[in-house]
Structure 1
Amino acid sequence: MHINPCIFILARPPHQVIWNYEQHTQYKLDVTHALRLAQLINDPSQFDDANAIDIKFANVDILITGPERHIDWKWDELSKIFHIGTKNIPCEDAPQDVNEWAALYLQHCNEVLASPAPAAARPCPMDRITLGHPSLVELQDLSLARTLISRSTSRSFDGRSVSIDQVSTLLYLTLGYLKERSISCEALRARRSSPSGGGMNACEGYLYVRSVTGLEAGIYAYHPGEHALSLIRPLPDEPLGHLLCGQHFINSLPFGLFITSRFDRLWWKYEHSRAYRMAFVETGHVSQSFLMVATALGLDTWLTGALSDRQVEHLLDLEGSPEQPLFFVGCGHGDGQVHCRELMALAERQDRQP
């Protein structure tokens, strides 16, 4: 017999919880069962088909008859647990036709709406900064193909300011609730330019403002319902690179957006861990919208998922919150170089070496 490679153990006093992340099953072990499992992990050949505990382990696939073959995983165990553990959603009563799907989905939505909703988003204070509704006329004649081709990642910004009108347009078309997209269903009336898992609009945005004309430097929350900003705190003394894992080439960036996900909104409707994937998918949609709009406005763009998480959570007042930062996008003016000058200089010196 072999120990199933797709299990991990959690300490949840007074029990150990053993979790088969491939089959989505969990079992509590008391001390007797936990001690016996420890013996079998140390030496699986001790399996005894006359031992009732061993038989239980075999019946629930904690013990298996042969080593299972899986992907030759090059990343760490945590990423493997995440990927395999969110595959193959248990679906015992899969609908057999569209009418059955519609009935089951409506029933699910009604059950969700009958349960306590997650807390409202960060409240929009009375002293908020209301942004003007952007004029989209100048963007209407732009070619989508040309914008796609023009978008590139830049790591060389010169610190010139962006305007508050550009920021307003960026926020409205990235995270705003679009007035142009009317819909009759009240529950689904808040519509963004990007798709959202279950229509939950789980992403929120926080501005890093260093140099925006018409706006004081600082950290701001964006309120999509009001298309407004509220100041969270002044700009920290430490450079932006400290918040982004040492990427100091970006310190002169005039404006950026931390994109967060409200996990509580997602698990309110989707209790399975598969929904965690959707948090990142939605963040990707939102970031692409930001990058495309910024490119259309003639700005250079940059993006990263390398966040100094604890520092960013503190900066945004999200410590211990089910809302978590996942990504950062920024834009400004520069020479459009993919690499910063310092890296290019090092590469040139390396190339000149014999």
Structure 2
Amino acid sequence: MHINPYLFILPRTPAPIVWNYKDHIQYELELDYSLRLSQLINNPDLFDSRNNIDIQLLNAGILSISKQDSIEWGWDELSKIYHIGTQNIPCEHIPHNIDEWSRQYLDHCSEVLAKPAPCAGRAIIDATSRIALPTATAPSHDKLTDALTRRKTCRSFTGRALSLDDVSTLLYLSFGYLQERDNAQDGIAEGLDARRSSPSGGGLNACECFLLAQHIDGLEPGVYAYHPAEHVLTRVNAWPQAPLGQLLGGQHFINNLPLGLFITARFDRLWWKYEHSRAYRMAFVEAGHLSQSFQLIATALGLNTWLTGAFTDDQVEALLSIEGTAEQPLFFVGCGESDGQAMCQEIQDLLRGPQT
């Protein structure tokens, strides 16, 4: 008999809580259950199939007949609990089409709006301390300002194919190692000198990306790994049989998105340089930098963008062929031609209500 390795115990009065953080299940243990679990933790061979408590602990998944392998992790248990505990959030029903998603989304928004909202802004305690700023004026003919002001999240795409030239530009300027910076005299240690357009904690470039190519001229639909040092793609998998939205939390308005990127983190790179788990934060910070760079570049190319953190981790890891490794998916971004609508047509129809 074995103890489930994905447990932590919260000492609470009147009874401790055992939390299976991988399966998102919590149990409150009465005193006799707590005492028995302590005995079994000390010596799992004490398990007795005639003991009702032992059987209940087994049925609850606190005990396991077979040994469960825990993933490799280079930081402390706290960061591991957070990482695994926020994966594969349970969902009673993943929408199977755009109409189901639209109704679920609006129902969720209605539930949220029915509750008192927190204060929208930071309170100004001392009104005399207010310092008025001059009206912001964008520089004329400034391409960055133009991209910043035009960038928006869209949920309605035409599905028109993208050119391979645009895809190359997107990947190089967001995730590529910029040749234009190869000769910069920055006093950088050899091995940490690859530079992207976005900053990276410790110069490690711990984040990578996988390209989901659905409609790209000259590129067969499928999943590809991007190699920034060589600026090349390698095929990893075929295009998933299920609609893209099924992989992304039921968000089926995105099914015809021509291009998407899964941003992943190579935790082993961070473990290599930073032993403290505070570095775990840097993976998400870096993914955010890269996501914004990607969106601005796409906008400058005349494309609209969409992004999400809602996806089924296990399925994505399998699709990217990174299951059980130190590389983990963090975020998804995509782009394509759009009519510019922030909401898909199905949501707009529901908001308008029945037409008479």
| Offset, 1:188 | 2.6
**Corresponding residue number in structure 2 for 1:148:** 148
**Corresponding residue number in structure 1 for 2:313:** 309
Residues 19-98 of structure 1 correspond to what in structure 2 (within 5 A)?
none
Question: Which secondary structure state, in structure 2, belongs to the residue aligned with residue 180 of structure 1?
Answer: helix
**Corresponding residue number in structure 2 for 1:16:** none
**Corresponding residue number in structure 2 for 1:268:** 272
| Offset, 1:10 | 9.3
Q: For the Cα contact (< 8 Å) 1:204–1:259, is it kept in 2?
A: yes
* Superimposed CA distance per residue, residues 133-164 of structure 1 (whole angstroms, 9 cap, x where no aligned partner): xxxxxxxx752111111000000001101110
Which stretches in structure 1 are left out of the alignment for 5+ residues? 12-29, 35-77, 84-140
**Corresponding residue number in structure 2 for 1:115:** none
* Superimposed CA distance per residue, residues 230-285 of structure 1 (whole angstroms, 9 cap, x where no aligned partner): 01112121110011011000001001111000011111111111111111110000
Is 2:287 the partner of 1:294? no
**Corresponding residue number in structure 1 for 2:205:** 201
Q: For the Cα contact (< 8 Å) 2:193–2:203, is it kept in 1?
A: no
Is 2:236 the partner of 1:232? yes
Q: Which amino acid aligns with 1:214?
A: G
Q: Distance in 2 between matches of 1:160 and 1:231?
A: 22
Question: Which secondary structure state, in structure 2, belongs to the residue aligned with residue 314 of structure 1?
Answer: helix
Q: Distance in 1 between matches of 2:350 and 2:193?
A: 52
- Kindly tell me: are residues 193 and 4 of structure 1, through their superposed partners in 2, closer, same or farther at Cα, counting changes over 3 Å? farther
**Corresponding residue number in structure 2 for 1:248:** 252
- Kindly tell me: are residues 337 and 32 of structure 1, through their superposed partners in 2, closer, same or farther at Cα, counting changes over 3 Å? closer
Q: Percent of aligned positions with the same letter in both sequences?
A: 60
Which stretches in structure 2 are left out of the alignment for 5+ residues? 1-10, 21-37, 43-77, 84-140
Q: Which moved more, 1:141-150 or 1:286-295?
A: 141-150
- Kindly tell me: are residues 273 and 8 of structure 1, through their superposed partners in 2, closer, same or farther at Cα, counting changes over 3 Å? farther
Q: Distance in 2 between matches of 1:242 and 1:311?
A: 10
**Corresponding residue number in structure 1 for 2:215:** 211
Q: Which amino acid aligns with 1:224?
A: P
Q: Distance in 1 between matches of 2:165 and 2:267?
A: 31
Is 2:179 the partner of 1:173? no
- Normalising by structure 2, we get a TM-score of 0.60
Q: Distance in 2 between matches of 1:10 and 1:156?
A: 40
Q: Aligned-pair RMSD on alpha carbons?
A: 3.0
- Kindly tell me: are residues 240 and 345 of structure 1, through their superposed partners in 2, closer, same or farther at Cα, counting changes over 3 Å? same
Q: For the Cα contact (< 8 Å) 1:157–1:333, is it kept in 2?
A: yes
Q: For the Cα contact (< 8 Å) 1:142–1:296, is it kept in 2?
A: no
| Offset, 1:297 | 0.3
Question: Which secondary structure state, in structure 1, belongs to the residue aligned with residue 299 of structure 2?
Answer: helix
Q: Distance in 2 between matches of 1:241 and 1:329?
A: 13
* Superimposed CA distance per residue, residues 38-59 of structure 1 (whole angstroms, 9 cap, x where no aligned partner): xxxxxxxxxxxxxxxxxxxxxx
- Kindly tell me: are residues 268 and 346 of structure 1, through their superposed partners in 2, closer, same or farther at Cα, counting changes over 3 Å? same
Q: Which amino acid aligns with 2:148?
A: L
Q: For the Cα contact (< 8 Å) 1:258–1:325, is it kept in 2?
A: yes
- Kindly tell me: are residues 222 and 32 of structure 1, through their superposed partners in 2, closer, same or farther at Cα, counting changes over 3 Å? closer
**Corresponding residue number in structure 1 for 2:100:** none
**Corresponding residue number in structure 2 for 1:45:** none
Could you say which structure has the greater relative contact order, defined with CA pairs below 8 angstroms and 6 or more residues apart?
2
| Offset, 1:189 | 2.1
Q: Which amino acid aligns with 2:334?
A: G
* Superimposed CA distance per residue, residues 317-352 of structure 1 (whole angstroms, 9 cap, x where no aligned partner): 0100110011000000010100000011001107x7
Q: Distance in 1 between matches of 2:40 and 2:229?
A: 55
**Corresponding residue number in structure 1 for 2:284:** 280
Q: Distance in 2 between matches of 1:189 and 1:277?
A: 22
**Between Structure 1 and Structure 2, how many residues are aligned?**
233
| Offset, 1:216 | 1.0
Q: Distance in 1 between matches of 2:204 and 2:17?
A: 31
